[in-house]
Amino acid sequence: METYTLTTAGADLVYDVRGPLPTADGRPPLFLIGHPMDASGFAALAARFPDRTVVTYDPRGIGRSRRADGRVDYTPETLADDVHAVITKLGAGPVEMFASSGGAVTALALVARHPGDVTTLVAHEPPLITITPDGPAAVRARAGVRDAYEKRGWGAGMAAFVAMTSWEGEFTDAYFAQPAPDPVAFGMPAEDDGSRDDPLLSDRSWAVSDHRPDVDAINAAPTRVVIAVGEESRTVQTGRTSDAAAELLGQRATVFPSHHGGFLDGEFGYPGKPDEFAARLREVLDAS
Query: pLDDT tens for residues 146-201?
Result: 999 999 999 999 999 999 999 999 999 999 999 999 999 988 999 999 999 999 99
pLDDT in the model for residue 85: 98
| CA–CA dist 138, 102 (Å, integer) | 16
pLDDT in the model for residue 279: 98
pLDDT in the model for residue 260: 96
Q: What percent of the chain has pLDDT above 90?
A: 95
Q: Which helix (H) or strand (E) holds 282?
A: helix 274-286
Q: For residue 36, which amino acid is it?
A: P
Q: For residue 164, which amino acid is it?
A: M
pLDDT in the model for residue 264: 96
* Average pLDDT value over all residues in the chain: 96
Alpha helices in 69-222 (DSSP H): 76-90, 102-113, 135-152, 154-166, 173-176, 206-209, 215-220
Q: Which helix (H) or strand (E) holds 240?
A: helix 237-248
pLDDT band at 130 (very low <50, low <70, confident <90, very high): very high
Q: Helix 135-152 crosses helix 154-166 at what angle (to 10 degrees)?
A: 160
CB atoms within 10 A of CB 217: 14
| CA–CA dist 20, 7 (Å, integer) | 22
pLDDT tens-digit map of 30-81: 999 999 999 999 999 999 999 999 999 999 999 999 999 999 999 999 999 9
pLDDT of 269 above 80: no
Number of H helices, E strands in the chain: 10, 9
Q: Which of 47, 146, 59 is nearest to 100 (CA)?
A: 59
Q: Which helix (H) or strand (E) holds 247?
A: helix 237-248
- C-alpha pair distances (Å), 79 with each of 105, 170, 188: 9, 29, 30
pLDDT of 268 above 90: no
Q: CB under 8 Å to 90, separation ≥6 — which residues? A: 17, 21, 29, 55
Give, as one character, the DSSP assignment of residue 246.
H
Q: CB under 8 Å to 74, separation ≥6 — which residues? A: 35, 36, 59, 60, 61, 102, 199, 204, 205, 207, 208
Average pLDDT over every residue of 3-23: 96
pLDDT band at 145 (very low <50, low <70, confident <90, very high): very high
Q: What angle do CA 211, 215, 220 make, to 5 degrees?
A: 140
pLDDT band at 93 (very low <50, low <70, confident <90, very high): confident
pLDDT of 240 above 80: yes
Instruction: Please tell me the total number of residues recorded for the chain in this structure.
Output: 288
pLDDT in the model for residue 146: 98
Q: Are strands 66-67 and 54-57 parallel, antiparallel or unpaired?
A: unpaired
Average pLDDT over every residue of 237-254: 98
pLDDT band at 270 (very low <50, low <70, confident <90, very high): confident
67 bridge partner residues: 11
pLDDT in the model for residue 50: 96
pLDDT of 218 above 90: yes
